[in-house]
């Protein structure tokens, strides 16, 4: 992968999801499909999309004629502070948010099949490159997207969230394969429906994922009575970009309540949310963040971490960060008294693991009190190292700390850990910890490391120091299907290539009749190659029996398929002088 300063900042745990863009696997039909969609976008979205869209296409250097190369995109994107990487379809939602937090777009390398040209439930290069990339050229929107990634990456997920992700990924893979059977698709849809209907109480991630969908993916902007499009899902869908503005789709002013609306990736959306401007997106995002454990901390945050069953981090008011799987919180009067993790745990400060406090040292978990020492008028974290000595917290000296909660720590001071001039940890030997008649730590258990901090100011998903913790996102076991085209399809792709060569080289027009005869004879279901042939004839102002035959061939398809009828009509519209 060709790197740049933005990609160089990506942490190791995200790199396992990055793949090389399989550019040579795009077929000539894929290139024609890209070209059709992009020409339609410029023609139609120029009227209904936010003004940043067309300007963004220019700034990001996304070609209308050819599928973009990741290398070329990155050379241009870095000028606006962003980068792009290729991935294999849907990636885990937390990882998706993390990429976004690092100003990196994840671009699904595949492209939709032609029978899903108007809309596909699978992420593809049209959705990512033609939908997301142009809008981030607007600095206000880019700021929102990056901040959304930072906040979203800290949201707690549930076990069901990951099952839902896998079901969505599986369905998208099956539906994007033109050779999948209807039975396979129905089975995948049933699996997704079963999981969706049994999610239980929505997790933080589920709710912020909803908010992401109704803004980043399917957002409208401006006046609810006459909005413009900015969401990538709409910008990349030539069918939904039209349908979404019809009166049948309800337009709701954007508020935090959008996080409570679920969505179905397999169906057009019955309602959309309209923000008056990009600045409001940040206001709604901040309002939502205030409801999350990352901002609320305390007992609420610790319970979110316990419920998730995944690695989380609790941040003490001293700045000490405890990363592990939280399993218990003792509370009194709504405030945490003692927290506990089970299994490998690390202690960190400012996002970096403290020396000697890695997963091996805390292999079986970590427990520590939270709160104010009863005999002190100020929190322990506000003492200097010298002041700690003055109150008896000196290495080698016995001490008995009684907390306002009633918890006691009695032992001999072994060492103190100071970070940025503030104490964050005191280690004891021969130590016991008791609360309400129960022993939480016994003297024979070894060293007791006591976190310092009156409050838990933040709790968030994931470890504080991802690399040191060994966080990984294993590459998904189920890969996007690499389409093995049949011989007939390969011959059709050859015709597309010949038409493309004639257009790009502006010669060999005499070959068109023979190309047309083969297309009509062997590939009568195809319409896009016929449209490209008609385009060349119109450009040369050839109005003869050949042109009429191709036109009538396309017109004959319209009554058979409503969706295809619109595609053909839109194709005709592109061939008129006014559309050029």
pLDDT digits (tens, 9 = 90+) for 428-455: 999 999 999 999 999 999 999 999 999 9
- Who wins on pLDDT, 62 or 319? 319
Q: What is the reported pLDDT for 1?
A: 61
pLDDT of 580 over the 70 cut: no
Q: Report residue 95 as tokens.
A: 């990882």
- Residue range 187-193: mean pLDDT, rounded: 90
pLDDT digits (tens, 9 = 90+) for 326-363: 999 999 999 999 999 999 999 999 999 999 999 999 99
Phi then psi dihedrals of residue 410, to 5 deg: -125, 125
Q: What is the reported pLDDT for 3?
A: 76
Q: Report residue 430 as tokens.
A: 């021969």
Average pLDDT, the chain: 92
Q: How many CB atoms lie within 10 A of CB 467?
A: 12
Helices (H) and strands (E) in the chain, counts: 24, 18
Residues near 423 by beta carbon (within 8 Å), at least 6 away in sequence: 318, 380, 381, 383, 385, 388, 416, 417, 452
pLDDT digits (tens, 9 = 90+) for 504-549: 998 888 999 999 999 999 999 999 999 999 999 998 888 789 999 9
Among 61, 83, 68, 115, CA closest to 14: 83
- Who wins on pLDDT, 531 or 576? 531
- Residue range 20-45: mean pLDDT, rounded: 92
Asked if residues 533 and 519 have their Cβ atoms less than 8 Å apart, the reply is yes
Residues near 289 by beta carbon (within 8 Å), at least 6 away in sequence: 151, 295
Give the 3-state secondary structure percentages of the chain, helix then strand then coil, rounded to 5. Answer: 45, 20, 35
- Residue range 489-518: mean pLDDT, rounded: 94
Helices (H), 158-270: 159-176, 182-196, 204-212, 232-235, 240-243
- Residue range 192-217: mean pLDDT, rounded: 90
- Who wins on pLDDT, 181 or 475? 181
Q: What is the reported pLDDT for 77?
A: 87
Q: What residue segments make up the domains of the chain, in order of their start?
A: 7-206, 307-469, 487-579
Q: Which CATH architecture has domain 307-469?
A: Roll (2.30)
pLDDT of 191 over the 60 cut: yes
Percentage of the chain lying above the pLDDT 70 cut: 99
Helical (H) or strand (E) element with 86: strand 83-87
Q: What is the reported pLDDT for 211?
A: 97
Q: Inter-axis angle of helices 139-152 and 278-289, to 10 degrees?
A: 10
Q: How many CB atoms lie within 10 A of CB 56?
A: 23
Q: What is the reported pLDDT for 222?
A: 96
CATH code that applies to domain 7-206: 1.10.800.10
pLDDT digits (tens, 9 = 90+) for 261-310: 988 877 788 999 999 999 999 999 999 999 999 999 999 999 999 999 99
pLDDT of 21 over the 80 cut: yes
Q: What is the reported pLDDT for 490?
A: 94
- Who wins on pLDDT, 69 or 292? 292
Whole-angstrom distance, CA of residue 316 vs CA of residue 453: 5
């Amino acid at each position: 992968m060709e790197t740049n300063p933005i990609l160089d900042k990506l942490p190791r745990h995200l790199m396992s999801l990055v793949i090389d863009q399989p550019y040579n696997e795009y077929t000539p039909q894929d290139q024609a499909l890209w070209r059709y969609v992009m020409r339609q976008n410029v023609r139609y979205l120029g009227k209904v999309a936010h003004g940043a869209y067309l300007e963004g296409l220019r700034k990001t250097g996304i070609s209308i004629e050819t599928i973009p190369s990741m290398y070329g995109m990155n050379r241009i994107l870095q000028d606006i502070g962003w980068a792009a990487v290729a991935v294999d379809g849907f990636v885990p939602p937390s990882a998706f948010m993390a990429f976004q937090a690092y100003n990196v777009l994840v671009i699904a390398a595949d492209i939709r099949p032609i029978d899903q040209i108007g809309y596909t439930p699978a992420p593809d290069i049209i959705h990512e490159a033609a939908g997301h990339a142009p809008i981030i050229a607007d600095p206000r929107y880019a700021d929102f997207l990056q901040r959304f990634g930072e906040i979203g990456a800290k949201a707690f997920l549930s076990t069901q969230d990951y099952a839902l992700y896998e079901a969505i990924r599986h369905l998208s893979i099956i539906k994007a394969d033109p050779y999948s059977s209807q039975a396979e698709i129905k089975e995948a849809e049933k699996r997704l429906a079963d999981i969706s209907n049994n999610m239980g109480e929505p997790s933080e991630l589920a709710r912020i994922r909803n908010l992401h969908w109704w803004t980043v993916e399917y957002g409208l902007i401006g006046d609810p009575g006459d909005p413009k499009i900015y969401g990538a899902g709409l910008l990349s869908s030539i069918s939904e970009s039209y349908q979404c503005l019809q009166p049948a789709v309800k337009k709701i002013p954007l508020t935090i309540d959008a996080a409570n609306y679920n969505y179905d990736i397999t169906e057009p959306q019955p309602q959309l949310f309209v923000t008056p401007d990009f600045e409001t997106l940040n206001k709604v995002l901040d309002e939502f963040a205030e409801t999350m454990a990352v901002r609320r901390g305390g007992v609420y945050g610790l319970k979110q971490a316990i419920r998730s069953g995944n690695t989380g981090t609790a941040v003490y008011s001293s700045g000490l960060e405890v990363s592990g799987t939280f399993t218990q919180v003792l509370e009194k009067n709504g405030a945490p008294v003692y927290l506990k993790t089970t299994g490998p745990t690390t202690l960190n400060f400012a996002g970096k693991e403290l020396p000697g406090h890695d997963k091996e040292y805390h292999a079986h978990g970590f427990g520590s009190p939270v709160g104010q020492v009863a005999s002190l008028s100020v929190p322990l974290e506000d003492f200097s190292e010298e002041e700690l000595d003055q109150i008896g917290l000196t290495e080698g000296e016995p001490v008995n700390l009684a907390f306002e909660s009633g918890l006691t720590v009695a032992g001999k001071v072994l060492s103190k850990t100071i970070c940025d001039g503030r104490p964050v940890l005191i280690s004891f030997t021969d130590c016991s910890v008791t609360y309400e008649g129960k022993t939480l730590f016994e003297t024979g258990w070894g060293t007791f490391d006591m976190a310092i901090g009156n409050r838990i100011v933040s709790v968030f998903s994931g470890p504080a120091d991802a690399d040191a913790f060994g966080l990984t996102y294993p590459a998904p076991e189920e890969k996007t299907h690499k389409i093995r085209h049949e011989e007939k399809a390969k011959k059709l792709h050859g015709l597309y290539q010949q038409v493309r060569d004639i257009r790009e080289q502006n010669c060999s027009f005499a070959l068109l009749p023979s190309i047309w005869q083969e297309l009509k004879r062997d590939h009568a279901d195809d319409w896009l190659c016929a449209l490209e042939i008609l385009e060349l004839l119109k450009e040369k102002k050839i109005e003869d029996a050949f042109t009429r035959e191709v036109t009538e061939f396309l017109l004959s398809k319209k009554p058979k398929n409503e969706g295809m009828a619109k595609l053909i009509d839109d194709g005709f519209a592109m061939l008129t002088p006014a559309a050029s």
